[in-house]
Amino acid sequence: MMDFLIRALIGGLGVAAVAGPLGSFVVWRRMAYFGDTLAHSALLGVALGFLLNVNLNLAIIVLCVGLAAVLVTLQKKHIIATDTLLGILAHSSLSLGLVAVSFLDNIRIDLMAYLFGDLLAISQTDLYWVYGGGLLVIALLVAFWKPLLAMTVNEELAKVEGYPVESIRLLLMLLVALVIAVAMKIVGVLLITSLMIIPAATARKLSGTPIQMASIASFIGCLSVCGGLWASYHWDTPTGPSVVVCVAMLFLITYSLPFRRR
């Protein structure tokens, strides 16, 4: 019986550890809505994965990266304001995903699990994906930390100093897509961004440097996974939402504590 709980804990910790630093970038670059859009489109990835009979994680990654590319192209054309564009893409891809899923007659999909996550149903294979993908994301973050941060602080200065800004921006989108793909099982498409943003936002008050904020965000995310799992086990609450409630509470507590932001 404890087996699935331990798997859930290991998987959850892996996702939270990666979501922290990446979530910090999402917060710094004001990409929250962008992350949401990618996450919503992940459901379409799942449907396509089933329809074409390919690995679901792979399908999600490909779809997210494709959507990110479409988004960047449309953004450059200045057809419509970016937030409107994101809203259109987010909800139409989510709806398209839901419609596509309904065509899958012969396969039973637990829709709730994809929308809100099912940490307790995480399998050994899922764990490999979480840790494989997670380690890749961390390795890329470490390797490209300086250019990523230089671009985040000021794109023009970074470009003048010779950083390949366009490629780095693409890399960041790819990383967000990867994290969404591996985190989907844990918290579901509707709650993924919260696991990236809320720990980072909480960490902001406690940190004085970017690296501090990224690591504290990881720590806070891990803490909430433990808390959420514990609550879920004791009160039989849905796991993904429990984790998010837990991190939201940590955010509220941190910001109501009487010390000033550094």
208 contributes a contact to other proteins by CB under 8 A: yes
154 binds other proteins (CB under 8 A): yes
169 lies in the binding site for other proteins (CB under 8 A)? no
Single residue of 89, 177, 189, 201 touching other proteins by CB under 8 A:
201
Nearer to other proteins, 41 or 218 (CB): 218
Does residue number 88 form part of the binding site for other proteins (CB under 8 A)? Answer: no
Nearer to other proteins, 162 or 258 (CB): 162
- Selected from 212, 227, 231, 248, the binder of other proteins by CB under 8 A is 212
- Interface residue with other proteins among 136, 144, 152, 233 (CB under 8 A) is 152
- The DSSP secondary structure of the chain, one letter per residue, reads -HHHHHHHHHHHHHHHHHHHHHHHHHHHTT-HHHHHHHHHHHHHHHHHHHHHT--HHHHHHHHHHHHHHHHHHHHHHTSS-HHHHHHHHHHHHHHHHHHHHHT--SS---HHHHHH--GGG--HHHHHHHHHHHHHHHHHHHHTHHHHHHHHH-HHHHHHTT--HHHHHHHHHHHHHHHHHHHHHHH-TTTHHHHHHHHHHHHHHH-SSHHHHHHHHHHHHHHHHHHHHHHHHHH---HHHHHHHHHHHHHHHHHHSSS---
Q: Is the CB of 72 or the CB of 99 nearer to other proteins?
A: 72
Q: How far is the CB of 77 from other proteins (least distance, A)?
A: 13
Stretch that binds other proteins, among 26-34, 53-61, 69-77, 79-87 (CB under 8 A): 26-34
**Should residue 157 be labelled a site residue for other proteins when binding is judged by CB under 8 A?**
yes
Binding flag, residue 258, other proteins (CB under 8 A): no
Q: Does 143 bind other proteins (CB under 8 A)?
A: no
Using the rule CB under 8 A, give the single segment among 58-66, 151-159, 179-187, 228-236 that binds other proteins.
Answer: 151-159
Contacts of 35 (CB under 8 A, 6+ apart): 26, 176, 180, 192, 193, 196, 197
Residue closer to other proteins by CB (options 120, 149) is: 149
Report the alpha-carbon angle 239-18-231, nearest 5.
Answer: 20
**Residue 21 CB, nearest distance to other proteins (Å)?**
13
Distances (CA, A) of 68 to 36, 50, 126: 12, 22, 24
| Site size toward other proteins, by CB under 8 A | 27
Least distance in Å: CB of 166 to other proteins? 12
Nearer Cβ to other proteins, position 29 or 169?
A: 29
Tokens encoding 126: 């899922």
With both helix axes pointing from N to C terminus, report the angle between 124-143 and 2-28 in degrees, rounded to the nearest 10: 30
Of the pair 189, 201, the CB lying nearest other proteins is at: 201
What residues make contact with other proteins under the rule CB under 8 A? 27-30, 146, 149-150, 152-154, 156-163, 201, 204, 207-210, 212-213, 262
